Amino acid sequence: MAKILRVNMFQKELKWEDVPGKYAALGGRALTSQIILDEVPATCDALGELNKLVIAPGLLSGTNAPSSGRLSIGGKSPLTGGIKEANAGGITSQKLASLGLKAIILEGRPEGSGWYGIKISADGAEMFNANDLAGKGTYEVTSICREQYGSKVAVVTIGTAGEMQLLSAGVANNDTEGNSSRYAGRGGLGAVMGSKRVKVIVVDSPGTFDAPVKDSERFKAAAKKFSRILLDHPVTGKGLPAYGTNVLMNIINEAGTLPTRNFRYGRYDKACEVSGEKLAEVAVARGGKATHACHPGCVMRCSNVYPMPDGKVCAPIEYETAWGFGPNLEIGDLDVVAKLNYICNDVGLDTIEIGCALGVLMEAGVIPFGDGNAAVSALEEVGRGTALGRIIGSGAAVAGKAYGVTRVPVVKGQGIPAYDPRSCKGNGVTYATSTMGADHTAGYAVTANILSVGGTVNPLFAEGQVDLSRNLQIATAAVDSTGLCLFVAFAVLDNPEGLPAIVEMINAQYGVNLTVDDVVALGQNVLKVEREFNSRAGFTKADDRLPEFFVNEELEPHKTKFDIKDEELDGVFNF
């Protein structure tokens, strides 16, 4: 029977609890958000004792469902002040589910300055002294834990940014090869873990796909069908497996929606130098991998392994990261991008937020646009805990306030990633209205705006964008609850058999009789839960807006502005 592990850091108590009935049908994001609404006062200090960190595998995690190993981590965000779910690959989700864990809840905070670790296995859970790991980067911590507990353990850890409780700190997970770079990055949840004085969680499970399935034959048939649907689609079966997520670089650049020089232009003349095609060429030439699975059971394999000139390996460089450290800063050198990425992974920072923060620093004239060495030097300040480093590690909004910059691309305090909302207006609606702050994954309208997946909605016009974003936000909330990778949506949107196959897998695993409508209702309820928390936290319609410069300034090359009216944005959640 599935259990919840509640870890009270004030009392140093670990308690196994039965799963309450209201949580039985929830997983992933649906579960983390519901627990946060139920147990966390919305107006509390996100870094105080009343906030909680919830770690939950998805409904399908721990099974052979293709690409189902995503992990949800939730809490009140110290970056946005609202609710947050950050999603990560790696091996943790499958192992937690295989051990029968529905969720881990970290609560309270200990007295004193000590650091703690938690080890979970089939034999139970224990807390241990982790002072020897304090001050170390995620790569070293993961290596030490794999050496001590075995090479197959999952290691959930924070870097020094999380220890310092910087607002952009993420939570790292490792992949099968030990790379500690599968991040629940957005929203500062690494700072929340740091506030609990938890440096690391080690999950030791002998199995990866051992979650119970009530009707195994029915499940296998549905999983096989869903795998074929993914492999037959041109994006999930060809584009992503060939060049990874950074296959988007040249596509988005050609579409004129690649934010360049802190969102001043929509195209970058050196985009091809930091593209997926270039990355694959260099990675393979150096003995790395053009594509790579971020978690066991992934059939899309859209990650990568990039060897750096100094002998270290950055795994992976995702599109949004390549954008944030590349075109956004007018840097056209993949090795510089990789170096910045590696530093973030090791110190424990969200690469998207840091890319936006460095863009603001360049806007302020602190470092020049295009100067990769200066960007690297500035980012290294975070690990040293200097004043500049703490500003950078606290994100773009803080950097803007510190340096008096008004051109700051954030919504609800969180940096806008990789797609300019003036020429990809569906994503603009998502950025403005998402419960999470600016988040491209919350309702990835690039599908219909740019890629003609799931239909076509002209990205340059306002018509149809609200409906597109609304439907995608609902679908995404549901997908995030299953443990499936969000990229399965590409195939599901184009194949009418995709969503029924997901429903069939859930029904076979749990012995239930859900319908497609039930899954839609699940997504809607997740959004209602999250909006209720944000409302209690003091968010209003005024928070569902883009920064003024997107409305007032035309974007080259299309000369478009973000022109979707406020009243339309206010109607996104009218379901």
Q: What is the pLDDT along the chain (575 residues), one digit of tens a residue?
A: 899 999 999 999 999 999 999 999 999 999 999 999 999 999 999 999 999 999 999 999 999 999 999 999 999 999 999 999 999 999 999 999 999 999 999 999 999 999 999 999 999 999 999 999 999 999 999 999 999 999 999 999 999 999 999 999 999 999 999 989 899 999 999 999 999 999 999 999 999 999 999 999 999 999 999 999 999 999 999 999 999 999 999 999 999 999 999 999 999 999 999 999 999 999 999 999 998 888 899 999 999 999 999 999 999 999 999 999 999 999 999 999 999 999 999 999 999 999 999 999 999 999 999 999 999 999 999 999 999 999 999 999 999 999 999 999 999 999 999 999 999 999 999 999 999 999 999 999 999 999 999 999 999 999 999 999 999 999 999 999 999 999 999 999 999 999 999 999 999 999 999 999 999 999 999 999 999 999 999 999 999 999 999 999 999 999 999 999 999 999 999 99
Neighbours of 428 (CB within 10 A): 30
**Please, what's the b/e burial string for 73-108 (b: 16 or more CB within 10 A of its CB; e: otherwise)?**
bbbbbbbbbbbbbbbbbbbbbbbbbbbbbbbbbbbb
The C-alpha atoms of residue 178 and residue 379 are separated, in whole angstroms, by 24
Cα angle 22-28-33, degrees, rounded to a multiple of 5:
65
Reported as type and span, the H/E element at residue 171 is strand 171-173
The C-alpha atoms of residue 19 and residue 25 are separated, in whole angstroms, by 10
The answer to whether the CB of 488 falls within 8 A of the CB of 479 is yes
What is the rounded end-to-end Cα distance, in angstroms, of the chain? 35
The C-alpha atoms of residue 193 and residue 127 are separated, in whole angstroms, by 15
The answer to whether the CB of 475 falls within 8 A of the CB of 523 is yes
Domains of the chain plus CATH, in order, are 3-204 (3.60.9.10), 213-243+421-575 (1.10.599.10), 246-419 (1.10.569.10)
Instruction: Please give the structure tokens belonging to residue 382.
Output: 């975070």
Instruction: Please give the structure tokens belonging to residue 64.
Output: 């052979």
Pairing between β-strand 410-411 and β-strand 414-415 as defined by DSSP bridges: antiparallel
Entry pTM:
0.97
Nearest to 178, CA basis, from 149, 207, 206: 149
Cα angle 143-148-149, degrees, rounded to a multiple of 5:
100
Which residue reads 């001050």 in tokens? 135
Nearest to 469, CA basis, from 397, 556, 575: 575
Q: Evaluate the omega torsion of the peptide bond into residue 557 and state whether it is cis, within 30 degrees of 0.
A: yes
What angle in degrees, to the nearest 10, is found between the helix axes of 334-347 and 276-285? Answer: 80
Neighbours of 565 (CB within 10 A): 10
The answer to whether the CB of 63 falls within 8 A of the CB of 556 is no
> Cα dist. 421→264, 487, 546, 560 in Å?
12, 21, 9, 10
The C-alpha atoms of residue 115 and residue 190 are separated, in whole angstroms, by 14
The answer to whether the CB of 161 falls within 8 A of the CB of 393 is yes
**Rounded CA Rg of the chain:** 22
Neighbours of 215 (CB within 10 A): 14
Give me the pLDDT at residue 1, please: 81
